[in-house]
């Protein structure tokens, strides 16, 4: 459960006394009466606006939120509350919808979208935060009354009151598929994941999967710790941890884990000065894995990143290759994202190319190390992309797998004999990981797969190899996948 509480002075109804003095226990009650002006704190309005942006504009929550927080002038606790409510509601959407559906007589398709957003926001507060139920209901009802009138407010009030009569575990016990009939569906429901994603995790976890699925989904459902990358040659992880009040990461020598509630990351001096960037430790490890892989022949310092946007791994690889006087070519198909790469690698020996990585105007057989951080479903980074788990569809996988195969084939063209390709996804889905690598190995008899566990010494639980799958519940990282393929000389 979240520790989200009321920000000081918000969510209170001073004209009617404090809500927690009006109702001591039991389901919250609403007074009926004429509509009155909205009396909703800006944090909830901001969270509601985030839900609207994601629904109407297909916005990415993490990209849309900063502008919304600025518009509502939210900082510190208020910004934290808006983030928690917005992200939490998006993350939990399918679970909330099942519970809302059980509490309404109307088919869900007949509930207007803004009302559904408000219901989700209210239900999230009731089920997954410590916000007092009356505050959760009253503020949501006020939000709806201010925007849609009293009838809609009454409808929302009635449903939220029903939801508030049980906690999340009790609703799950009633609504989840029975474990004995559908163990995967049951676990998926309890941790607010679509069933097909739970199944994909189970498939990738291998023989240990049954015992681990619960922990894997629970970790994926938790609010993630923010990780920083200490840019090589600029600042050490120890210095960065001291400067930011975090801890050096357990596995990446360049990583720092920030304390929860660190606040605006962009305002940390080290980040503002460009000494550090936000990057999951798993992303650091897979990029480092490629940098450490054993080549056949000397490393001349000619490296390539074939899918570089927005530039996190290009910043790490560019920093590393630059320490030894080498260079990195960074390819990105989208001009907008290429611009983000330019910003991320400013000052590094990196050349950014806007091109399709499958046909980039770069030499074949020329690079010592090539990274393919392929576009993927992102199922391994769902905890950092709140809306993604309900937006992604299983039908997305085959098209992405085709693109991934083509990008890997291009990488194997660009790498020199004796050089290494690192194939990376932030998805553990077997069709995007092992399936793509196995296909490439089948098609090429001049490529051998290296054991990627060898380049991550000290990292436990990497599985049977030769590829590596990281997991939030085992490593505290995103579920990154790494395979290392070396071209023979």
Ligand X SMILES: C[S@@+](CC[C@H](N)C(=O)[O-])C[C@H]1O[C@@H](n2cnc3c(N)ncnc32)[C@H](O)[C@@H]1O
Other CB atoms within a 10 A radius of the CB of residue 196 amount to 15
Strands 327-332 and 350-354: parallel
Tell me the window of 236-244, 249-257, 330-338, 362-370 that interacts with ligand X (CB under 6 A). Answer: 330-338
257 vs 313 by CB, closer to ligand X = 313
Nearest to 398 by CA among 351, 430, 364: 430
319 vs 357 by CB, closer to ligand X = 357
283 vs 469 by CB, closer to ligand X = 283
> Is 308 assigned to a binding site?
yes
- Minimum CB separation of residue 384 from ligand X in Å reads 12
Contact between 267 and 430 under an 8 Å Cβ cutoff? The reply is no
- Minimum CB separation of residue 326 from ligand X in Å reads 18
> Is 373 assigned to a binding site?
yes
Binding to ligand X in span 361-380, by CB under 6 A:
373, 375
Contact between 369 and 379 under an 8 Å Cβ cutoff? The reply is no
- Minimum CB separation of residue 313 from ligand X in Å reads 4
Strands 447-450 and 481-487: antiparallel
Tell me the window of 202-210, 252-260, 333-341, 442-450 that interacts with ligand X (CB under 6 A). Answer: 333-341
Quick one: which of 28, 185, 326, 357 contacts ligand X (CB under 6 A)?
A: 357
> Is 310 assigned to a binding site?
yes
Q: Is 337 in the site for ligand X (CB under 6 A)?
A: yes
> Is 313 assigned to a binding site?
yes
Strands 276-278 and 255-257: unpaired
Nearest to 134 by CA among 28, 279, 214, 254: 28
Tell me the window of 75-83, 169-177, 257-265, 331-339 that interacts with ligand X (CB under 6 A). Answer: 331-339
Phi first, then psi: what are they for 320, rounded to 5°? -70, -45
165 vs 334 by CB, closer to ligand X = 334
Spatial separation of the C-alpha atoms in residues 119 and 39, rounded to whole Å: 17
Q: Is 281 in the site for ligand X (CB under 6 A)?
A: no
Q: Is 114 in the site for ligand X (CB under 6 A)?
A: no
- Minimum CB separation of residue 388 from ligand X in Å reads 12
- Minimum CB separation of residue 380 from ligand X in Å reads 10
Binding-residue total with ligand X (CB under 6 A): 18
148 vs 278 by CB, closer to ligand X = 278
176 vs 409 by CB, closer to ligand X = 409
189 vs 251 by CB, closer to ligand X = 251
- Minimum CB separation of residue 443 from ligand X in Å reads 19
Spatial separation of the C-alpha atoms in residues 448 and 485, rounded to whole Å: 6
Tell me the window of 179-187, 200-208, 255-263, 354-362 that interacts with ligand X (CB under 6 A). Answer: 354-362
Q: Is 332 in the site for ligand X (CB under 6 A)?
A: yes
> Is 103 assigned to a binding site?
no
Structure token pair of residue 401? 């797998």
What lies within 8 Å, CB to CB, of 104 at 6+ separation is 111, 159
Q: Is 2 in the site for ligand X (CB under 6 A)?
A: no
What lies within 8 Å, CB to CB, of 476 at 6+ separation is 225, 250, 257, 281
- Minimum CB separation of residue 399 from ligand X in Å reads 11
Choose, from 103, 244, 376, 426, the residue flagged as catalytic. 426
Please say whether the dihedral angle defined by the alpha carbons of residues 261, 385, 310 and 314, taken in this order, is positive or negative. Answer: positive
Task: Give yes or no: 244 in active site.
Answer: no
335 vs 445 by CB, closer to ligand X = 335
Quick one: which of 227, 231, 313, 487 contacts ligand X (CB under 6 A)?
A: 313
> Is 311 assigned to a binding site?
yes
Binding site per annotation, positions for S-adenosyl-L-methionine: 307-313, 332, 356, 373
Q: Which residues are catalytic?
A: 426
Binding site per annotation, positions: 307-313, 332, 356, 373
What residues make contact with ligand X under the rule CB under 6 A?
283, 307-313, 331-334, 337, 356-358, 373, 375
């Amino acid at each position: 459960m979240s520790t989200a509480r009321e920000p000081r002075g918000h969510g209170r109804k001073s004209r009617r006394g404090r809500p927690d003095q009006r109702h001591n226990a039991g389901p919250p009650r609403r007074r009926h009466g004429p509509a009155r002006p909205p009396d909703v704190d800006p944090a909830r309005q901001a969270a509601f606006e985030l839900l609207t942006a994601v629904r109407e504009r297909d916005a990415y929550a993490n990209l849309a939120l900063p502008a919304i927080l600025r518009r509502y002038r939210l900082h510190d606790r208020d910004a934290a509350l808006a983030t928690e409510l917005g992200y939490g509601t998006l993350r939990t959407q399918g679970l909330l919808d099942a519970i809302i559906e059980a509490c309404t007589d109307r088919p869900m398709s007949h509930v207007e979208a803004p009302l559904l957003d408000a219901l989700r926001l209210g239900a999230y507060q009731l089920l997954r935060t410590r916000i007092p139920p009356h505050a959760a209901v009253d503020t949501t009802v006020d939000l709806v009354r201010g925007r849609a009138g009293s009838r809609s407010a009454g409808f929302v009030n009635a449903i939220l009151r029903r939801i508030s009569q049980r906690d999340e575990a009790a609703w799950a016990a009633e609504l989840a598929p029975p474990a004995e009939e559908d163990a995967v569906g049951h676990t998926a429901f309890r941790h607010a994941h679509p069933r097909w994603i739970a199944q994909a995790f189970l498939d990738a976890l291998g023989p240990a999967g049954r015992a681990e699925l619960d922990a894997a989904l629970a970790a994926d459902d938790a609010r993630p710790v923010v990780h920083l990358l200490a840019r090589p040659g600029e600042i050490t992880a120890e210095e960065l941890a001291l400067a930011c009040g975090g801890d050096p990461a357990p596995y990446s020598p360049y990583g720092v884990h920030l304390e929860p509630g660190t606040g605006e990351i962009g305002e940390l001096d080290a980040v503002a000065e460009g000494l550090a960037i936000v990057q999951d430790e798993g992303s650091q490890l897979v990029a480092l894995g490629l940098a450490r892989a054993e080549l056949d022949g000397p490393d001349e310092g000619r490296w390539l990143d074939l899918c570089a946007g927005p530039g996190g791994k290009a910043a790490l690889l560019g920093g590393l290759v630059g320490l030894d006087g080498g260079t990195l070519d960074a390819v990105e198909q989208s001009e907008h994202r290429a611009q983000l790469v330019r910003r991320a690698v400013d000052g590094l020996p990196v050349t950014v190319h806007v091109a399709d990585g499958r046909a980039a105007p770069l030499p074949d057989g020329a690079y010592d190390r090539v990274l393919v951080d392929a576009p993927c479903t992102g199922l391994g980074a769902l905890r950092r992309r709140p809306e993604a788990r309900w937006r992604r569809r299983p039908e997305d996988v085959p098209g992405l797998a085709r693109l991934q195969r083509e990008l890997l084939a291009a990488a194997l063209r660009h790498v020199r004999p004796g050089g290494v390709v690192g194939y990376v996804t932030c998805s553990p889905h077997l069709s995007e990981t092992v399936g793509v690598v196995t296909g490439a190995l089948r098609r090429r008899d001049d490529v051998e797969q290296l054991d990627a566990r060898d380049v991550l010494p000290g990292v436990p639980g990497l599985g049977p190899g030769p590829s590596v799958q990281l997991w939030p519940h085992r490593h505290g990282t995103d579920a990154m996948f790494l395979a290392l393929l070396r071209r023979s000389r």
